């Protein structure tokens, strides 16, 4: 018993704090659990950040690829009539065709990869959030066990047979 807030015979209200108990093992255990949960939550936030950064990088890669494809298409649109009239060499024209085909395939591959990453990341993000919720719930349980060290009046009325003393050791449920 660490602190007694009311005396035997006092009138109390339901939920009123009567005494405060201490349990060093429980407090240390709860503190360790809280620290562990907070570390895990921080790790999950770091993973969420990494997923967001990966998503942004995928978008940038797709945009850059689309831009390169548009440039290659414009180049072909310019070269095609010139090549037909003989103003552009056959090699330059074929190189422009190859570049256009490459940029088109590259864009398609990047879009497909980004879509796959997005599906996987969405699933992983959902799992991370569920894990975080579970961790927070377990932390709530640990904190609730600490709150049980506060003795409260179960009902309103006059307190009787309340004979605890400072420093007294009590067993669980006593």
Q: Give the residue with greater pLDDT, 19 vs 60.
A: 60
Mean pLDDT of 31-53: 87
Return the pLDDT at 66: 97
pLDDT range class, residue 126, cuts 50, 70, 90: confident
Q: What are the residue ranges of helices labelled H in the chain? A: 24-84, 90-147
d(CA 22, CA 39): 26
> Which of 72-86, 102-116, 144-158 has the lowest average pLDDT?
144-158
This prediction's pTM: 0.63
pLDDT on residue 72? 97
Q: Which residues contact 66 (CB under 8 A, 6 or more apart)?
A: 107
Distance CA(128)–CA(135), nearest Å, equals 10
- Kindly report, residue by residue over 149-158, the tens digit of the pLDDT: 888 888 998 8
Q: Which two tokens stand for residue 112?
A: 């497909």
pLDDT of 117 higher than 80: yes
Burial of 130 (0-12, 13-18, 19+ CB in 10 A): exposed
If pLDDT is split at 50, 70 and 90, which confidence band does 142 have?
A: confident
């Amino acid at each position: 018993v660490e602190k007694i807030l009311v005396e035997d015979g006092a009138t109390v209200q339901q939920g009123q704090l009567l005494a405060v108990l201490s349990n060093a093992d429980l407090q240390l255990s709860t503190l360790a659990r809280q620290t562990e949960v907070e570390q895990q939550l921080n790790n999950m936030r770091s993973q969420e950040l990494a997923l967001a950064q990966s998503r942004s990088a995928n978008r940038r890669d797709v945009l850059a690829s689309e831009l390169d494809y548009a440039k290659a298409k414009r180049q072909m649109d310019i070269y095609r009539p010139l090549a037909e009239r003989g103003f552009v060499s056959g090699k330059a024209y074929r190189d422009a065709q190859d570049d256009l085909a490459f940029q088109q395939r590259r864009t398609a591959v990047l879009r497909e990869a980004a879509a796959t990453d997005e599906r996987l990341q969405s699933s992983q993000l959902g799992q991370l959030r569920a894990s975080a919720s579970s961790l927070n719930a377990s932390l709530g349980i640990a904190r609730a066990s600490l709150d049980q060290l506060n003795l409260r009046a179960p009902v309103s009325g006059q307190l009787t047979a309340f004979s605890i003393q400072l420093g007294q050791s009590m067993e669980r449920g006593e």
